[in-house]
Amino acid sequence: MPLSVLTGLNQYQIAERSFGTPGLWNAPLLATDNNFTQLNTDASALSQVVSNISTNLAGWNAGSISTILNTSAGTLVIGSGTALNPSIAFSSETSLGWYRSAASHMDLSYGQLSVPGGAVTLPTYTFVSNRSTGIIDNGTPGLDVVVAGTVAGRGLTNQWLTVSGSAVLPTKAFTSEISLGFYRSGASVIAQSYGTLQVPVLSTNSLMPQSGNTIGVYSQLSLNNTVLTGLATPSNASDGVPKTYADALLSGGVSSFRGDWTTGISAVTLSAGSFCFFTSTSSVSMADSTNSVKAPLANLFVALAASNASSTVTLGIAGDVGLYTSLTTGATYFLNTTGGPTTTAPSAQSTIVYAVGVAKSAQTIVFAPTYLGSNAT
């Protein structure tokens, strides 16, 4: 802005005032538009010049500068500007800069804002309320989230990394219960801090190896080198375990049984749910309470499926056997004289008292055979 326009005095007036009133100027001054110095103490003249300057500045470039200086607060006040004409811009690129887009919003008109990478002790993006918390460039390339001067998380191209955590402060936790969650307890080990982990009930063969992009379940269990007919089976220790195979391990292939089991070769025809024993020739025969030969100590099993003589039979050692009907829930059952269960303990002379278990429902006995002795002769 020309000096004569800024002050409200033209060049002649400034020069004449200079010569006519020595109190305003120390010496004759060639008053030009760009040279206005050595102002002295003529209060009246000074007041008029300041008034003219203030008036002219208020109307000059009103979109960018409204008041050049608030002397009481020391605040530079500028207009809001727009995205096309930002209030704070650059002479080399006047459309690039900052402007006020709305109440409490300051926007960059366009382009890119580059900042230093920062450090853990001095985050680049931080907060007035907590300058030790923020975001920095970790140089990987990636970024680190810093909380209270410590890296709490790291973002890479395809990963988000966290610290290991502990059982007291798990890495993956919940705002409603920050001590419940998951953490790295050791090399290649993910642990749950405490509590219960609930998973969906699996109704299909959905436990697959990791190559199937679902849950990887691995097992080194063997089935005495026996493959159950019709079931997909793992071929080595790192194979996934199909649900049908896992069920078979728990039931011997019998859906109504859960527990420990084995197999044998039947010497006679056996019905499902009948009690039996291994003979001295290692075959499986029907048990009954009539004498100790047919109900030997620590040698009582339950047939989990019907079988013919000389065929393989699956035998329950202990567990839930759901092969019955009309049981009395809560009642103790004993081996009877025909190889089945009864609520009446044998009392005839020389008979064997063998408790086979307790009924947990009308169909299921919790099979836990207990030899109680023989009736005296």
Query: Is residue 250 within a helix (H) or strand (E), and if so which, with residue range?
Result: helix 243-251
- The residue that leads in pLDDT, 107 or 258, is 107
| pLDDT > 70: percent of the chain | 65
Model confidence band, residue 274 (pLDDT cutoffs 50, 70, 90): very high
For residues 190 and 182, the answer to whether their CB atoms sit within 8 Å is: yes
Q: Tell whether the model's pLDDT for residue 48 goes beyond 80.
A: no
DSSP string, 146-207: EETTEEEEEE-SS-EEE----SSS-SEEETTEEEEEEEEEETTEEEE-SS----PPP-SS--
Model confidence band, residue 78 (pLDDT cutoffs 50, 70, 90): confident
The conformation of residue 354, written as its DSSP 8-state character, comes to: E
pTM of the complete model: 0.39
For residues 99 and 83, the answer to whether their CB atoms sit within 8 Å is: yes
Q: Tell whether the model's pLDDT for residue 197 goes beyond 90.
A: no
Q: What is the pLDDT of residue 35?
A: 41
Model confidence band, residue 284 (pLDDT cutoffs 50, 70, 90): very high
**Number of separate helices (H) and strands (E) present in the chain:** 4, 22
Q: What is the pLDDT of residue 8?
A: 52
Instruction: Give me the domains of the chain, ranges plus CATH numbers.
Output: 3-60 (no CATH), 125-161 (no CATH), 258-374 (2.40.300)
In sequence order, what are the residues at sequence separation of 6 or more whose Cβ sits closer than 8 angstroms to the Cβ of residue 314?
252, 253, 254, 261, 262, 263, 303, 304, 305
Instruction: Sort residue 106 into left (φ over 0), alpha (ψ -120 to 50) or beta.
Output: beta
- Give the Å distances, CA to CA, from 10 to 41, 128, 262: 20, 49, 116
Summarize pLDDT for 344-357 with one digit per residue, the tens: 999 999 999 999 99
How many beta carbons lie within 10 A of that of residue 193, not counting itself? 21
**pLDDT averaged over the chain?**
77
C-alpha neighbours within 13 Å on the C-beta side of residue 110: 8
Summarize pLDDT for 223-265 with one digit per residue, the tens: 433 434 444 556 666 555 566 666 666 656 667 888 888 899 9
CA angle 356, 361, 367 (to 5 degrees): 20
Annotate 308-326 with b (16+ C-beta within 10 A) or e (fewer).
eeeeebbbbeebbbbbbee
Instruction: Summarize the confidence of residues 123-152 as an average pLDDT.
Output: 89
Of the candidates 313, 306, 319, the residue with the CA atom closest to the CA atom of residue 369: 319
User: How far from chain centre, in Å, is Cα 304?
Assistant: 43
